[in-house]
Amino acid sequence: MVSMKDIATKCNVSVATVSKALNDRNDVGEETRELIKRTAKEMGYSPNSLARALRTNRSYNIGVLFVDEGRSGLTHDYFANVLDSFKATIEDHGYDLTFINCSKKREPRLSYLEHSRYRGYDGVVIACIDFTDPEVIELANSDIPLVTIDYMFNNHSGVVSNNYAGMTELMKYIVSKGHRKIAYVCGEDTAVTRNRLAAFYKVLEENHIEIPDDYVMHGAYRSINRTEKFTDALLDRPDRPTCILYSDDYSAMGGINSVRRHGLSVPEDISIAGYDGITLAAKLQPSLTTIRQDTQAIGEHAAIKLLNLIEHPRTEALEQIVVDGTLVPGKSVADIN
């Protein structure tokens, strides 16, 4: 690999001058600068981020922690889309993205924080993870700039989807279609699901609707199989609901399967609604009523926030950024008025 030293030799200048020329500093003569730049190009020079980062303590590299049930979160449609948008934004600003190693096999294992120091990340983004994990908390309590997605630490900035508003809108829509017996197969207990559940009950209350406690079923998230079981249970009740909500679109698809296995059809017999608004939702038959989360905006906001925290740590405020979703009416909720 050709280094600044090689260029310096060829141009008969010192390495310092090469560095200054390539970084467009002002204490280099015009001709020298051009000679150096030309020579660098001719010799096929490319800078070495390792050396640069070592010296400057800035790696222009960002760590990402997406761990979902032992996997990377890549296979999670919603988070993959958020990450894609996040990545595009930081890359436009000259940063790169590296996964924080979450292998449990390697001995000795580095904790998330150790790994972040090891790689010298300028900042870290975390999402799609168990936020009560001690390692995650250790990372959050460090001095590394950090943003979270869909979760808020009290001493860090984060971007959250407006789950309360989203669920409120969805529920109002469903109630407006005449539904009163509404069940909810919600995900595991997290900040996200808690907000949605609160909105769910709020809208019921405002409309003086009462439902049996066990219309709300906990613990199925992104699992079509578990969801189907819950749905089966709901459908087998004598007081069967007219509409079932799910924590995400995949679960909703599981619900639809269940309904059909019972010889019922959506939305004629049972109405179904999801959450997330994955691309597929609109293409299902019937198209799924859901809330589309603005993954593009979420990723971009998280990126901008993190870059600001890195580059202007002094002036950047701690902030919770809320991104609204939009109702996608679809055809899976019937009007039973």
Partner DNA sequence: ACAGTTTACTTAATCGTTTACTTTAACGTA
Partner DNA sequence: TACGTTAAAGTAAACGATTAAGTAAACTGT
Chain residues in the site for DNA (CB under 7 A): 1, 3-5, 12-20, 22-23, 27-33, 45-48, 51-52, 54-57
Q: Which two structure tokens, joined as six digits, stand for 118?
A: 């090891």
Q: Hey, what long-range contacts does 313-316 have (CB within 8 A, 24 or more apart)? A: 313/145, 316/157
Give the number of other Cβ atoms within 10 Å of residue 137's Cβ: 14
Q: Residue 13 or residue 307: which is nearer to DNA going by CB?
A: 13
Q: Judged by CB, which is closer to a copy of itself: 116, or 242?
A: 116
Q: From the list a copy of itself, DNA, none, which binds 20 (C-beta under 5 to 8 Å, kind-based)?
A: DNA
Cα distances (angstroms) measured from residue 241 to each of 68, 132, 214, 232, 269: 31, 34, 11, 12, 10
CB atoms closer than 10 angstroms to residue 219: 15
Tell me which of DNA, a copy of itself, none is bound by residue 29, counting a contact when its beta carbon lies within the kind-specific cut-off of 5 to 8 angstroms.
Answer: DNA
Provide CB contacts within 8 A for 20, sequence distance 6+: 27, 28
Between 200 and 230, whose beta carbon lies closer to a copy of itself?
230
Residue 105 contacts a copy of itself per CB under 8 A: yes
3-state secondary structure of 217: strand
Nearer to a copy of itself, 237 or 261 (CB): 261
Residue 47 preceded by cis peptide, ω within 30: no
Q: How far is the CB of 146 from a copy of itself (least distance, A)?
A: 17
C-alpha span between 65 and 127 (Å, rounded): 6
Q: Which residue number, 47 or 134, has a Cβ lying nearer to DNA? A: 47
What residues from 115 to 154 belong to the interface with a copy of itself (CB under 8 A)? 117-120
Q: Where are the beta strands (DSSP E) in 197-284?
A: 216-217, 243-246, 271-273
Task: Kindly tell me which residue out of 210, 239, 283, 312 binds a copy of itself, with binding defined by CB under 8 A.
Answer: 283
Is 314 a binding residue for a copy of itself by CB under 8 A? The answer is no
Interacting residues with a copy of itself (CB under 8 A): 1, 46-51, 53-54, 59, 61, 71-72, 74-75, 77, 80-81, 83-84, 87-88, 91-94, 96-99, 101-103, 105-106, 110, 113-114, 117-120, 224, 250, 253-254, 256-257, 260, 279-280, 283, 285
